[in-house]
Amino acid sequence: MIEVTFQGHWKSRQKKSATSRDDCVLRIARPMKTLVVFAVLLCANLACAGDATDPTLDRLSKVDIFAFGGIGYAGTISRGERDYKLIFSRTSAEADFERLFAVGNAQAKAYALVGIRALDQKRFTQISRSLRNSKEEVITESGCIVEHQPFGALLKRIAADEFSQYSSVRPTRS
């Protein structure tokens, strides 16, 4: 009878130990799972923060029309010109215009070249050299007139400093 009691006690204790072990694993696994999920989300967030996009630069890189001054019947300032002025007023303007030139469409490249010309004439000459005879079309607007101009023709106007009046606010360096 002692043996039975001992075995019975031992068996119930063994069963209890296995259940306790499973409970212990579950108690540890749940917080670990939460910790792993939190760590993955944190890493993803940090990765996204490193690739933060600039909404102004993104918008200007896809601009539909190259225009300075009042356009349309109401003579409003284009979204492209407003974005250009925002970028031009930054201390990082040169780098931002270089990036815009690299990633933007034809209209964006034209805005970038106006900014680069105003900030660094030598760099403008280097970049624009390959585009002098370009036949790529740029959509421009002046007043109520919308035109499709060859990039080379617009580049001559940029080189002639036709748009310098729109680059009057110089970025300050820290």
68 contact partners, CB below 8 Å, separation of at least 6: 78, 81, 114, 163, 166
Which three-class secondary structure state does DSSP give residue 72? Answer: coil
pLDDT in tens, 14-32: 555 555 666 655 566 666 6
What's the confidence (pLDDT) of residue 26? Answer: 58
What's the confidence (pLDDT) of residue 174? Answer: 46
pLDDT band at 49 (very low <50, low <70, confident <90, very high): very low
What's the confidence (pLDDT) of residue 59? Answer: 95
pLDDT band at 113 (very low <50, low <70, confident <90, very high): very high
Residue of 160, 110, 165 lying closest to 139 (CA atoms): 110
Sequence-ordered alpha helix ranges (H) in the chain: 2-50, 55-61, 79-88, 93-103, 106-119, 121-128, 151-159
Tokens standing for residue 142? 């002046």
Q: To the nearest whole percent, how much of the chain has pLDDT over 70?
A: 65
pLDDT in tens, 120-168: 999 999 999 988 888 899 999 999 999 999 999 999 999 998 877 776 6
CA 23/CA 118 separation, integer angstroms? 71
What's the confidence (pLDDT) of residue 46? Answer: 47
What's the confidence (pLDDT) of residue 35? Answer: 56
Taking the model in full, what pTM does it have? 0.68
